[in-house]
């Protein structure tokens, strides 16, 4: 950490630590018993994506769905339990 960050008046309490949030998300999703591992993986990818891209409003969802499918589409099509 740089000395400027230490001496700064900026408070980092409100920042989201993505690694910690991802671990917590995985822990919570692992508690589900009625979903497959593939479904859990997709839910985690989505939660992580939404958190990192700061999707905050309903109006962002169409963009987020398209961007998510472009980014993780290869995972979606390879997950056998997601094929209907």
Q: Is 70 exceeded by the pLDDT of residue 48?
A: yes
In angstroms, how far is CA 12 from the centroid of its own chain? 21
pTM over 0.75: no
Instruction: Judge whether 18 and 51 are in contact, CB under 8 Å.
Output: yes
> Over the stretch 8-44, which tens digit does the pLDDT of each residue have?
666 565 566 778 888 888 888 888 888 888 888 898 9
Q: What is the 3-state secondary structure (H, E, C) of the chain?
A: CCHHHHHCCCCCCCCCCHHHHHHHHHHHHHCCCCCCHHHHHHHHHHHHHHHHHCCCCHHHHHHHHHHHHHHHHHHHHHCHHHCC
Instruction: Judge whether 68 and 49 are in contact, CB under 8 Å.
Output: yes
């Amino acid at each position: 950490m740089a000395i400027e960050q230490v001496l700064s008046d900026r408070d980092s309490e409100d920042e989201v630590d993505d690694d910690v949030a991802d671990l917590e998300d995985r822990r919570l999703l692992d508690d589900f018993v009625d979903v497959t591992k593939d479904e859990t993986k997709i839910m985690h990818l989505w939660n992580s994506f939404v958190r990192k891209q700061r999707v905050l409003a309903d109006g962002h969802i169409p963009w987020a769905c398209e961007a998510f499918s472009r980014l993780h589409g290869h995972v979606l099509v390879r997950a056998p339990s997601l094929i209907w």
